[in-house]
A and B are shown apart, each in its own frame.
Chain A
Amino acid sequence: EVQLVESGGDLVQPGGSLRVSCSASGFMFSKYAINWVRQAPGKGLEHVSSITNDGHSTYYADSVKGRFTISRDNSKNTVYLQMSSLSAEDTAVYYCVKAGGWNYYYYSMDVWGQGTTVSVSS
């Protein structure tokens, strides 16, 4: 079974940092791009960051550029999202999502994790 499991979500103070992880199983991880999509409480979906299958190319939304870093370890079938300078606007469920191919564009998001909750509050 193709599966993505996020972890690391937590309550963080404004200005703090957090790293969330996504562990994959059931498919050839190194062949697929991975996306992070977030959903603020009661809101829609926002594409946050992406990384190609080999990790050589990344994307960041303007809202997180310079504060978030995406990376992957294909030997561990894991993707990471390092988040810093967090604010209340970053409060959301963060979903790890598999792309349908090696790149993050031209491929739909075909498998979603269950999400991990990041709350930023004092």
Chain B
Amino acid sequence: EIMLTQSPGTLSLSPGERGTLSCRASQSVSRFLAWYQQKPGQAPRLLIYGASSRTTGIPDRFSGSGSGTDFTLTISRLEPEDFAVYYCQQYGNSLPLTFGGGTKVEIK
């Protein structure tokens, strides 16, 4: 089972600031890495797939990078609606399709 470690656990930022979220895999997942956003009481939604491709409708302030074992989700300028929990997930051919523990982005 591939373990995904997200850091930090909580990120306290102000609107307009830049947010940088990290996801590290216990072994290479190539670029089979996705990022999801979850707001309280809602289902997660896909933001980024293939490590760096934005899903339709996702603003370009969200960007993903990385390959192999180290990945980053960057939110260039935080908007009020971006405060949420973010999960990374690997979907290569190693089952289960594991998720990281999440990073909570909260208002400072």
Which residues does A use to contact B, with CB under 8 Å? Answer: 35, 44-47, 50, 59, 61, 95, 100, 104-115
> Quick check: A105 and B43 within 8 Å, CB to CB?
no
Chain B residues at the A interface, C-beta cutoff of 8 Å: 32, 34, 36, 42-46, 49-50, 55, 87, 89, 91-102
A100 to B98, CA, bound (A): 16
Judge whether B95 and A59 touch: CB under 8 Å.
Answer: yes
Bound state CA distance, A47 and B1, in angstroms?
Answer: 12
* CB neighbours of B32 from chain A (8 A): 105-106
Closest-CB distance, A99 to chain B (whole angstroms): 8
Given contacts A100-B49, A110-B55, A113-B43, contact A47 B96 (CB under 8 A): yes
Q: A47-B98, A112-B45 are in contact. List 10 more A-B contacts (CB 8 A).
A: A45-B89, A59-B96, A105-B92, A105-B94, A106-B32, A106-B91, A107-B91, A108-B50, A110-B46, A115-B43
A45, B94: Cα distance in complex, Å: 17
Among B34, B45, B97, contact of A35 (Cβ-Cβ < 8 Å) = B97
Decide: B43 and A44 in contact? CB cutoff 8 A. no
Closest B residue to A50 by CB, please name it: B97
A112 and B91: CB pair below 8 A? no
- B contact residues around A104 at 8 Å (CB): 97
Q: Which 4 A-B pairs have the closest CB atoms?
A: A108-B49, A108-B34, A112-B43, A45-B99
Residues of chain B lying within 8 A (CB to CB) of residue A112: 43-46
Enumerate chain A residues within 8 angstroms of B46, measured Cβ to Cβ.
Answer: 108-112
A45→B92 contact, CB < 8 A: no
Contact B44–A45 (Cβ < 8 Å): yes
B43 touches A114 (CB 8 A): yes
* 8 A-B contact pairs sorted by A residue (CB < 8 Å): A45-B99, A46-B96, A47-B96, A105-B94, A108-B91, A109-B36, A109-B97, A114-B43
Determine the chain B residues whose CB is within 8 A of the CB of A109 once the complex forms: 34, 36, 46, 89, 91, 97
